[in-house]
Structure 1
Amino acid sequence: MTQTTVKITGFHAHIYFDPATRDVAARVREGLGARFNVQLGRWHDKPIGPHPKAMYQVAFLPEEFAKVVPWLMLNREGLDILVHPETGDDVKDHMENSLWLGEKLELNIDFLQRIGKT
Protein backbone atom coordinates (compact mmCIF):
# COMPACT_ATOMS: atom_id res chain seq x y z
CA MET A 1 0.00 0.00 0.00
CA THR A 2 1.45 3.35 -1.05
CA GLN A 3 1.04 6.38 1.16
CA THR A 4 1.21 10.01 0.22
CA THR A 5 4.62 11.48 0.93
CA VAL A 6 4.54 14.06 3.71
CA LYS A 7 6.86 17.05 3.41
CA ILE A 8 10.00 16.71 5.49
CA THR A 9 11.12 20.15 6.61
CA GLY A 10 14.25 18.99 8.43
CA PHE A 11 15.88 16.26 10.49
CA HIS A 12 17.05 15.85 14.06
CA ALA A 13 19.79 13.55 15.28
CA HIS A 14 19.75 12.90 19.01
CA ILE A 15 23.20 11.86 20.22
CA TYR A 16 22.89 9.90 23.50
CA PHE A 17 25.66 9.66 26.09
CA ASP A 18 26.31 8.99 29.75
CA PRO A 19 29.03 10.36 32.07
CA ALA A 20 31.54 7.78 30.81
CA THR A 21 30.94 8.65 27.12
CA ARG A 22 30.47 12.44 27.37
CA ASP A 23 33.97 13.09 25.96
CA VAL A 24 33.18 10.80 23.02
CA ALA A 25 29.93 12.71 22.44
CA ALA A 26 31.91 15.97 22.50
CA ARG A 27 34.26 14.64 19.78
CA VAL A 28 31.31 13.60 17.61
CA ARG A 29 29.72 17.01 18.18
CA GLU A 30 32.93 18.82 17.19
CA GLY A 31 33.16 16.72 14.03
CA LEU A 32 29.58 17.50 13.06
CA GLY A 33 29.99 21.22 13.68
CA ALA A 34 33.26 21.41 11.73
CA ARG A 35 32.10 19.44 8.68
CA PHE A 36 28.43 20.15 8.10
CA ASN A 37 25.81 22.86 7.97
CA VAL A 38 24.06 21.79 11.18
CA GLN A 39 22.55 23.49 14.20
CA LEU A 40 24.00 22.07 17.42
CA GLY A 41 21.54 22.00 20.31
CA ARG A 42 22.25 22.32 24.02
CA TRP A 43 23.74 19.57 26.13
CA HIS A 44 21.13 17.85 28.31
CA ASP A 45 22.98 15.92 31.02
CA LYS A 46 19.77 14.29 32.25
CA PRO A 47 16.88 12.70 30.39
CA ILE A 48 14.55 15.32 28.90
CA GLY A 49 11.23 15.06 27.09
CA PRO A 50 10.84 11.67 25.44
CA HIS A 51 14.55 10.89 25.65
CA PRO A 52 15.62 8.22 28.20
CA LYS A 53 19.26 9.32 28.49
CA ALA A 54 21.39 12.42 28.44
CA MET A 55 21.73 13.77 24.90
CA TYR A 56 22.14 16.73 22.60
CA GLN A 57 20.23 17.38 19.41
CA VAL A 58 21.64 18.19 15.99
CA ALA A 59 19.23 19.79 13.51
CA PHE A 60 19.83 19.80 9.77
CA LEU A 61 17.99 20.40 6.51
CA PRO A 62 16.91 17.59 4.17
CA GLU A 63 19.69 18.38 1.69
CA GLU A 64 22.27 17.64 4.42
CA PHE A 65 20.89 14.16 5.22
CA ALA A 66 23.03 12.33 2.64
CA LYS A 67 26.17 13.86 4.14
CA VAL A 68 25.40 13.91 7.87
CA VAL A 69 23.88 10.45 8.38
CA PRO A 70 26.60 8.43 6.58
CA TRP A 71 29.23 10.36 8.55
CA LEU A 72 27.41 9.50 11.80
CA MET A 73 27.23 5.83 10.73
CA LEU A 74 31.00 5.70 10.44
CA ASN A 75 31.98 8.10 13.22
CA ARG A 76 29.50 7.59 16.07
CA GLU A 77 32.20 5.90 18.18
CA GLY A 78 29.73 3.45 19.72
CA LEU A 79 27.15 6.05 20.73
CA ASP A 80 23.44 5.42 20.22
CA ILE A 81 21.81 7.92 17.88
CA LEU A 82 18.19 8.54 16.92
CA VAL A 83 17.63 10.24 13.56
CA HIS A 84 14.12 11.40 12.71
CA PRO A 85 12.39 13.67 10.22
CA GLU A 86 10.44 16.80 11.05
CA THR A 87 7.00 16.45 9.45
CA GLY A 88 4.81 18.06 12.10
CA ASP A 89 3.79 14.74 13.71
CA ASP A 90 6.17 14.32 16.67
CA VAL A 91 4.86 10.89 17.68
CA LYS A 92 5.21 9.37 14.20
CA ASP A 93 8.49 11.15 13.54
CA HIS A 94 10.11 9.75 16.70
CA MET A 95 8.45 6.32 16.76
CA GLU A 96 7.65 5.19 13.21
CA ASN A 97 9.61 7.36 10.79
CA SER A 98 12.92 7.22 12.64
CA LEU A 99 16.13 5.29 12.26
CA TRP A 100 18.59 4.21 14.91
CA LEU A 101 22.35 3.94 14.82
CA GLY A 102 23.42 1.60 17.60
CA GLU A 103 20.94 0.40 20.21
CA LYS A 104 17.30 1.38 19.84
CA LEU A 105 16.36 3.04 23.13
CA GLU A 106 12.83 3.12 24.49
CA LEU A 107 11.39 6.63 24.20
CA ASN A 108 8.72 8.10 26.47
CA ILE A 109 5.82 7.95 24.02
CA ASP A 110 3.42 9.34 26.65
CA PHE A 111 5.38 12.59 26.70
CA LEU A 112 5.14 12.91 22.91
CA GLN A 113 1.42 12.16 22.93
CA ARG A 114 0.79 14.77 25.64
CA ILE A 115 2.63 17.55 23.81
CA GLY A 116 0.90 16.57 20.57
CA LYS A 117 -2.48 17.30 22.15
CA THR A 118 -1.64 20.85 23.24
Structure 2
Amino acid sequence: MADPSLYTYPSPLQGYEDLPPLPQERAADGKSYVNSPAEKKSSAYTSFPSPITNDRRGGFDIHIYFLHTDAEETKFATELWERIRREFPELRIYQIWDKPIGPHTMAMFEVNLFTPEQFGAFIPWLVINRGPLSALVHPNTDDEERDHTQRATWMGQPLPLNLKLFKQLKRRQQQQQKEKGNA
Protein backbone atom coordinates (compact mmCIF):
# COMPACT_ATOMS: atom_id res chain seq x y z
CA MET A 1 0.00 0.00 0.00
CA ALA A 2 1.06 3.55 -0.63
CA ASP A 3 2.31 5.60 2.29
CA PRO A 4 -0.40 8.26 2.97
CA SER A 5 2.32 10.76 3.94
CA LEU A 6 3.40 10.84 0.27
CA TYR A 7 0.25 12.74 -0.66
CA THR A 8 -1.45 16.01 0.20
CA TYR A 9 -5.10 16.20 1.14
CA PRO A 10 -7.33 19.28 0.81
CA SER A 11 -9.56 20.09 3.75
CA PRO A 12 -12.86 18.16 3.60
CA LEU A 13 -14.57 21.47 4.44
CA GLN A 14 -13.20 23.26 1.36
CA GLY A 15 -16.12 25.26 -0.06
CA TYR A 16 -18.06 24.99 3.22
CA GLU A 17 -16.10 27.57 5.21
CA ASP A 18 -17.82 30.36 7.20
CA LEU A 19 -21.19 28.60 7.40
CA PRO A 20 -23.36 28.76 10.52
CA PRO A 21 -22.80 25.97 13.07
CA LEU A 22 -24.64 22.71 12.49
CA PRO A 23 -27.59 21.95 14.80
CA GLN A 24 -26.81 19.70 17.77
CA GLU A 25 -30.36 18.30 17.96
CA ARG A 26 -30.49 14.50 18.14
CA ALA A 27 -32.74 12.37 15.95
CA ALA A 28 -35.37 10.01 17.42
CA ASP A 29 -32.79 7.22 17.76
CA GLY A 30 -30.90 9.38 20.26
CA LYS A 31 -27.59 8.69 18.52
CA SER A 32 -27.62 10.45 15.17
CA TYR A 33 -28.03 14.15 14.47
CA VAL A 34 -30.84 16.00 12.74
CA ASN A 35 -29.42 17.72 9.67
CA SER A 36 -30.86 20.82 8.07
CA PRO A 37 -32.15 20.06 4.57
CA ALA A 38 -29.73 20.98 1.79
CA GLU A 39 -30.67 23.63 -0.76
CA LYS A 40 -29.83 21.10 -3.49
CA LYS A 41 -28.52 17.54 -3.67
CA SER A 42 -24.80 17.00 -3.87
CA SER A 43 -23.51 16.77 -7.45
CA ALA A 44 -21.84 13.50 -6.35
CA TYR A 45 -25.21 11.82 -6.94
CA THR A 46 -24.89 12.40 -10.68
CA SER A 47 -21.16 12.65 -11.45
CA PHE A 48 -17.95 11.51 -9.83
CA PRO A 49 -15.99 14.18 -7.95
CA SER A 50 -12.83 15.55 -9.54
CA PRO A 51 -10.24 14.19 -10.24
CA ILE A 52 -12.19 10.96 -10.95
CA THR A 53 -12.94 10.71 -14.66
CA ASN A 54 -16.48 11.06 -15.97
CA ASP A 55 -15.67 10.05 -19.53
CA ARG A 56 -15.42 6.99 -21.78
CA ARG A 57 -12.72 5.47 -19.56
CA GLY A 58 -15.15 5.10 -16.68
CA GLY A 59 -14.91 6.50 -13.18
CA PHE A 60 -14.13 3.22 -11.42
CA ASP A 61 -12.55 -0.10 -12.29
CA ILE A 62 -13.36 -3.27 -10.40
CA HIS A 63 -10.90 -6.14 -10.77
CA ILE A 64 -12.26 -9.50 -9.63
CA TYR A 65 -9.54 -12.06 -8.95
CA PHE A 66 -9.48 -15.84 -8.89
CA LEU A 67 -6.92 -18.60 -8.60
CA HIS A 68 -6.87 -20.09 -12.10
CA THR A 69 -5.27 -23.31 -10.87
CA ASP A 70 -8.31 -23.98 -8.66
CA ALA A 71 -11.07 -25.51 -10.81
CA GLU A 72 -13.90 -24.57 -8.40
CA GLU A 73 -12.74 -20.97 -8.09
CA THR A 74 -12.30 -20.67 -11.86
CA LYS A 75 -15.82 -22.04 -12.39
CA PHE A 76 -17.25 -19.60 -9.84
CA ALA A 77 -15.41 -16.66 -11.46
CA THR A 78 -16.68 -17.65 -14.91
CA GLU A 79 -20.25 -17.94 -13.64
CA LEU A 80 -19.97 -14.58 -11.84
CA TRP A 81 -18.61 -12.97 -15.04
CA GLU A 82 -21.59 -14.36 -17.00
CA ARG A 83 -24.09 -13.19 -14.37
CA ILE A 84 -22.61 -9.67 -14.38
CA ARG A 85 -22.83 -9.54 -18.19
CA ARG A 86 -26.49 -10.60 -18.04
CA GLU A 87 -27.61 -8.44 -15.10
CA PHE A 88 -25.50 -5.33 -15.81
CA PRO A 89 -25.16 -5.15 -19.62
CA GLU A 90 -24.67 -1.37 -19.48
CA LEU A 91 -21.30 -1.82 -17.75
CA ARG A 92 -18.08 -2.48 -19.64
CA ILE A 93 -17.00 -6.05 -18.83
CA TYR A 94 -13.69 -7.32 -20.12
CA GLN A 95 -12.58 -10.82 -20.97
CA ILE A 96 -11.42 -13.25 -18.31
CA TRP A 97 -7.64 -13.31 -18.07
CA ASP A 98 -6.35 -16.69 -16.86
CA LYS A 99 -2.88 -15.26 -16.14
CA PRO A 100 -1.44 -12.10 -14.59
CA ILE A 101 -1.78 -8.95 -16.72
CA GLY A 102 -0.59 -5.41 -16.06
CA PRO A 103 -0.17 -4.76 -12.33
CA HIS A 104 -2.48 -7.67 -11.48
CA THR A 105 -0.61 -10.72 -10.18
CA MET A 106 -3.50 -13.18 -10.50
CA ALA A 107 -6.11 -14.23 -13.02
CA MET A 108 -8.98 -11.75 -13.11
CA PHE A 109 -11.61 -9.90 -15.06
CA GLU A 110 -12.43 -6.20 -15.00
CA VAL A 111 -15.67 -4.24 -14.85
CA ASN A 112 -15.90 -0.47 -15.50
CA LEU A 113 -18.47 1.81 -13.85
CA PHE A 114 -19.41 5.10 -15.50
CA THR A 115 -21.85 6.78 -13.10
CA PRO A 116 -22.50 7.07 -9.37
CA GLU A 117 -25.84 5.32 -10.03
CA GLN A 118 -24.00 2.29 -11.47
CA PHE A 119 -21.55 2.35 -8.56
CA GLY A 120 -24.43 2.47 -6.07
CA ALA A 121 -26.13 -0.51 -7.71
CA PHE A 122 -23.16 -2.70 -8.61
CA ILE A 123 -20.94 -2.45 -5.51
CA PRO A 124 -23.60 -3.63 -3.00
CA TRP A 125 -24.57 -6.38 -5.46
CA LEU A 126 -20.93 -7.49 -5.69
CA VAL A 127 -20.50 -7.44 -1.90
CA ILE A 128 -23.23 -10.09 -1.70
CA ASN A 129 -22.47 -12.10 -4.85
CA ARG A 130 -18.64 -12.20 -5.16
CA GLY A 131 -18.43 -15.40 -3.09
CA PRO A 132 -14.85 -16.33 -2.13
CA LEU A 133 -13.26 -13.97 -4.66
CA SER A 134 -11.32 -10.80 -3.86
CA ALA A 135 -12.12 -7.58 -5.70
CA LEU A 136 -10.15 -4.36 -6.04
CA VAL A 137 -12.27 -1.22 -6.49
CA HIS A 138 -10.32 1.83 -7.64
CA PRO A 139 -11.08 5.22 -9.17
CA ASN A 140 -9.59 6.39 -12.46
CA THR A 141 -7.68 9.66 -12.20
CA ASP A 142 -4.39 10.80 -13.68
CA ASP A 143 -2.40 8.97 -10.95
CA GLU A 144 -2.68 5.24 -11.60
CA GLU A 145 -0.34 4.16 -8.80
CA ARG A 146 -2.28 6.15 -6.21
CA ASP A 147 -5.59 4.91 -7.68
CA HIS A 148 -4.48 1.28 -7.25
CA THR A 149 -3.08 1.82 -3.72
CA GLN A 150 -4.00 4.76 -1.50
CA ARG A 151 -7.39 5.40 -3.16
CA ALA A 152 -8.29 1.72 -3.62
CA THR A 153 -10.77 -0.35 -1.63
CA TRP A 154 -10.62 -4.13 -1.32
CA MET A 155 -13.44 -6.61 -0.92
CA GLY A 156 -12.14 -9.83 0.53
CA GLN A 157 -8.46 -10.55 0.96
CA PRO A 158 -6.17 -7.78 -0.39
CA LEU A 159 -3.75 -9.16 -2.95
CA PRO A 160 -0.30 -7.96 -4.03
CA LEU A 161 0.01 -5.79 -7.12
CA ASN A 162 3.04 -5.25 -9.35
CA LEU A 163 3.54 -1.52 -8.79
CA LYS A 164 6.81 -1.45 -10.76
CA LEU A 165 4.78 -0.86 -13.93
CA PHE A 166 3.39 2.41 -12.55
CA LYS A 167 6.82 3.62 -11.50
CA GLN A 168 8.20 2.84 -14.97
CA LEU A 169 5.28 4.65 -16.61
CA LYS A 170 5.79 7.70 -14.36
CA ARG A 171 9.53 7.80 -15.18
CA ARG A 172 8.76 7.55 -18.90
CA GLN A 173 6.22 10.39 -18.68
CA GLN A 174 8.64 12.57 -16.72
CA GLN A 175 11.36 11.89 -19.31
CA GLN A 176 8.99 12.82 -22.15
CA GLN A 177 8.03 16.07 -20.38
CA LYS A 178 11.71 16.86 -19.82
CA GLU A 179 12.50 16.24 -23.50
CA LYS A 180 9.50 18.33 -24.55
CA GLY A 181 10.72 21.19 -22.33
CA ASN A 182 14.20 21.02 -23.91
CA ALA A 183 12.84 21.05 -27.48
TM-score (norm 1): 0.90
Residue 180 of structure 2 corresponds to which residue in structure 1?
none
Relative to its length, the structure with more strand (as a share) is: 1
With a CA cutoff of 8 Å and minimum separation of 6, indicate the structure with the bigger relative contact order.
1
Report if aligned partners of 1:14, 1:55 keep a CA contact under 8 Å in 2. Answer: yes
- 1:116, CA displacement in angstroms? 3.1
Task: Give yes or no for the alignment of 1:105 onto 2:149.
Answer: no
- Bigger Cα displacement from structure 2, 19-28 vs 86-95: 19-28
Q: What are the Cα deviations for residues 60-86 of structure 1, in whole angstroms up to 9, with x where unaligned? A: 113211111111100001101101011
Map of 1:34 onto structure 2: 86
Question: Which secondary structure state, in structure 2, belongs to the residue aligned with residue 12 of structure 1?
Answer: strand
Find out whether 1:7 has 2:56 as its counterpart: no
Q: Is the CA contact 1:90–1:116 (under 8 Å) kept in the aligned structure 2?
A: no
For the pair shown, the structure with the greater C-alpha radius of gyration is 2
Q: How far apart are residue 53 of structure 1 and its match?
A: 0.5
Structure 2 unpaired stretches of 5+? 1-9, 15-48, 54-58, 173-183
Conservation of the 8 A alpha-carbon contact between 1:8 and 1:62: no
Give the TM-score taking structure 2 as reference length: 0.60
Listed as ranges, the gaps of 5+ residues in structure 1 are: none
Q: Which moved more, 1:75-84 or 1:35-44?
A: 35-44
Report how many residues are paired. 118
Equivalent AA in structure 2 for residue 8 of structure 1: I
What is the aligned-residue RMSD (CA, Å)?
Answer: 1.7
Q: Which residue of 2 aligns with 1:24?
A: 76
Kindly tell me: are residues 116 and 68 of structure 1, through their superposed partners in 2, closer, same or farther at Cα, counting changes over 3 Å?
farther
Instruction: Provide the secondary structure at the position in 2 that maps to 1:43.
Output: coil
SS in 2 for 1:30: helix
1:35-74 per-residue CA deviation (whole Å, 9 max, x = no partner) reads 2221111221111111110111111113211111111100
Report SS of the residue matched to 1:2: coil
Cα distance between partner residues in 2 of 1:14 and 1:117 = 25
**Structure 2 residue identity aligned to 1:18:** L
Between 1:88-97 and 1:30-39, the stretch displaced more is: 30-39
